[in-house]
Amino acid sequence: MYIVKQKVNGGEYYYLRKAVRNGKKVTSECVAYLGKTLEGAEMKKKEIEEKLLKQEGKGNVMAENQNNNNNEKTMVHKSLTIDELAIFCKRKGFVYPSGELYGGLGGFWDFGHLGVELKKNLKESWWKYHVYRDDLVGIDGSIITNPKVWEASGHVGSFVDVAVVCKKCKNKTKIDKHEVGKAKCDKCGGEFENKGEFNPMFVTQVGPVKDDSVKAYLRPETAQLIFADFKLIQENARMQLPFGIAQVGKSFRNEISPREFLFRSREFEQMEIEYFIEGGTSCPYMEETKGVNILVYDEHMQKAGKEAQFMDLHEAWKKGVIKTDWHAYWITQEYNWFLNLGCRAENFRIRQHCSDEKSHYAIDTWDLEYKFPMGWRELQGFANRGNFDLTQHQNYSKQSMEIMNKEQKKVLPHVVCEPSLGVERAFLVFLFEAYSQNEKGEVVLKLNPKLAPIKAAVFPIVKSEEYEAIAEKILKDLRKDWNIIYDKSGSIGRRYARNDEAGTPYCITIDDKSPSQKDITIRDRDTREQIRVKIIDLKETIRKLINGEIEFLHAGKRV
Ligand code: GAP
């Protein structure tokens, strides 16, 4: 099947057609109308192909099972392409192309009823893990700020990409300045034609009257207001070095070629920490890096054409592969956050930026990379920004950014490490890690319960006033704390399947014994085991299960 573009009354429309053999003749037949944009058309084509494959029963299931539980042996992790994930996300209500009604807009996405919950839970988990400690506080800066912030930060002058077009396949993309003349097209290997430098910051006008309005920018990173507000935050929160400031929020970049679903968007969210130290202070948390193994790919290995090597992060720092203790510590923290939420270690590695690819502010940068279906790609950056930003703001604002250290001496702190993670990239990682199929080929989204959009579904086994009254009481109670759904339509099997696909970890059933025994059953999504729990203990049991404080089969009487 193939896509064709047709012009009708000046408008362009995309159609899916297929070749049909009629005796000796091959003709073409229209299969479906695909909309007004090529991006939307490609997505719809994949949806149609997926549907047809399903009808023919040809799922490409890749078996890989790490669990010993009998029921889980029949559950397999499935590898998806990024486009297949996009289709799943649209079908289930995780993510839609933004404004699809009008053909969408490249690089912008809307999060649906499940996506918004997953994203919220992901950010909440990140915030609790990083910010609720003695040496961290958070802020929420504005998206548009005084444009001088961006002049001082170097974004107006130095935040540039080079736009290129492949001479062979016409693929439009961007490359870093250092890649000019070296980079080849990632689609066909062809040579690039240089279309010149461009600044990816979105520009807007602040003020209603054109003549008096101010040219301003939508922030391209959340980090900068942490630097601009640094003195206020440090004084008000009474922070003493070393300490960090975190921020989660939207960032905008006018990417020349947004692609690969959420991976490179024009509007996205970042979760960033600027960790400030007095130059040379050592990290007191290095014990935490011991025994933490990850694939390491430093500049030397890359230049020598060697493979990445598994290393203990503590050892990597001791041997000087990772130059600062703080860098090794923050990489450990971030890697552990993913592992604690159920990700597989073999899908992560860290890669050092080569000297010619570092950002304008960076002394040394490592990326935490993830093995996406399109290859190893940046998930999170860890830049050593030194005192570049505070020095710049000091010079531009003519105000001192120095603070007192413990000895009451004035110092200009250094950002020894800036862990900077894109919410949408983390969102993709959790979905890729969770996507599985059971023996019937049905999707089971094995998300960590803390991330799951819906924590539990409540079902009365049959429609009766008595059962429904119990269900409603349970719902009212659980909904005070979590997103819980009530599902009373279809067979129990169908209701389980619907919820497995949405990643709901627990299904609560009110059955014929519930009215007399005052208990219910809870079914676990991943093992399909069931336990009976007294209604009075239900909320506390669900809380412990979500927080991973109790094993499922120890939480009640096995059925
Ligand atoms: N403050 C440092 C900074 O912004 P970056 O490497 O440009 O550094 C940090 O971005 C992270 O933000 C990336 O590792 C990625 O997770 C996310 N990110 C950057 N550009 C993105 C885009 N266009 N779409 C989605 N996520 C993006």
Residue nearest to atom 27 of ligand 1 (CA): 422
Distance from the alpha carbon of residue 270 to the mean position of ligand 1, in angstroms: 7
Q: Which among 425, 353, 357, 347 is positioned nearest to 382, based on CA atoms?
A: 353
Ligand 1 binding pocket includes 255 (Cβ within 6 Å): yes
Q: What is the pLDDT along the chain (559 residues), one digit of tens a residue?
A: 777 777 666 677 777 877 665 555 556 677 887 877 776 777 787 777 766 765 544 333 333 333 334 454 567 777 899 999 999 999 999 999 999 999 999 999 999 999 999 999 999 999 999 999 999 999 999 999 999 999 999 999 888 888 899 999 888 888 887 788 888 888 888 999 998 888 999 999 998 877 777 899 999 999 999 999 999 999 999 999 999 999 999 999 999 888 899 999 999 999 999 999 998 899 999 999 999 999 999 999 999 999 999 999 999 999 999 999 999 999 999 999 999 999 999 999 999 999 888 888 888 999 999 999 999 999 999 999 999 999 999 999 999 999 999 999 999 999 999 999 999 999 999 999 999 999 999 999 999 999 999 999 999 987 788 999 999 999 999 999 999 999 888 899 999 999 999 999 999 999 999 999 999 999 999 999 999 999 999 999 999 999 999 999 999 999 9
Q: What's the alpha-carbon Rg for the chain, to the nearest Å? A: 26
Separation of first and last alpha carbons in the chain: 50
Ligand 1 binding pocket includes 337 (Cβ within 6 Å): no
DSSP line for 384-415: E-BTHHHHHHHHHHTS---EE-TTS-EE--EE
- Using most ligand atoms within 8 A of CB, pick from 331, 425, 429 the residue to mutate for ligand 1: 425
Residue nearest to atom 16 of ligand 1 (CA): 422
DSSP 224: H
Strand partners, 251: 268
Which ligand 1 atom is at minimum distance from the Cα of 422?
A: 16
Distance from the alpha carbon of residue 361 to the mean position of ligand 1, in angstroms: 15
Tokens representing 227 are 């630097």
Which ligand 1 atom is at minimum distance from the Cα of 222?
A: 1
Please give the angle made by the CA atoms of 368, 374 and 380, to the nearest 5 degrees.
20
Q: What is the pLDDT of residue 55?
A: 55
What count of other Cβ atoms lies within 10 Å of the Cβ of residue 404? Answer: 12
Please give the angle made by the CA atoms of 17, 22 and 24, to the nearest 5 degrees.
120
Residues 414 and 32: their CA atoms lie apart, in Å, by 58
Ligand 1 binding pocket includes 378 (Cβ within 6 Å): yes
Residue nearest to atom 4 of ligand 1 (CA): 221
Which ligand 1 atom is at minimum distance from the Cα of 380?
A: 14
Distance from the alpha carbon of residue 35 to the mean position of ligand 1, in angstroms: 31
Residues 537 and 342: their CA atoms lie apart, in Å, by 27
pTM of the model: 0.86
Distance from the alpha carbon of residue 422 to the mean position of ligand 1, in angstroms: 6
What count of other Cβ atoms lies within 10 Å of the Cβ of residue 74? Answer: 13
Q: What is the pLDDT of residue 159?
A: 83
Q: What is the pLDDT of residue 47?
A: 77
Beta-carbon contacts of 542 under 8 Å, excluding residues fewer than 6 positions away, are: 455, 456, 478, 482, 506, 522
Ligand 1 binding pocket includes 176 (Cβ within 6 Å): no
In Å, how far are 449, 523, 554 from 558, measured between CA atoms? 20, 10, 8
Residues 81 and 62: their CA atoms lie apart, in Å, by 12
- Using most ligand atoms within 8 A of CB, pick from 259, 272, 378, 421 the residue to mutate for ligand 1: 378
Distance from the alpha carbon of residue 482 to the mean position of ligand 1, in angstroms: 30
Please give the angle made by the CA atoms of 556, 557 and 558, to the nearest 5 degrees.
110
CB burial of residue 555 (10 Å; 0-12, 13-18, 19+) = buried
Q: What is the pLDDT of residue 10?
A: 67
Tokens representing 44 are 């719809």
Q: What is the pLDDT of residue 74?
A: 67
DSSP 191: B
- Using most ligand atoms within 8 A of CB, pick from 261, 268, 367, 376 the residue to mutate for ligand 1: 268
Calculate the CA 19 to chain-centre distance: 39
Ligand 1 binding pocket includes 384 (Cβ within 6 Å): no
Beta-carbon contacts of 557 under 8 Å, excluding residues fewer than 6 positions away, are: 531, 532, 533
Contact 413, 71 (CB under 8 A): no
Pairing of strands 443-445, 435-437: antiparallel
Ligand 1 binding pocket includes 109 (Cβ within 6 Å): no
In Å, how far are 86, 108, 244, 449 from 269, measured between CA atoms? 18, 12, 19, 22
Residue nearest to atom 6 of ligand 1 (CA): 381
Ligand 1 binding pocket includes 268 (Cβ within 6 Å): yes
In sign, the C-alpha dihedral spanning 326, 317, 349, 378 is positive
Residue nearest to atom 21 of ligand 1 (CA): 264
Residue nearest to atom 9 of ligand 1 (CA): 420
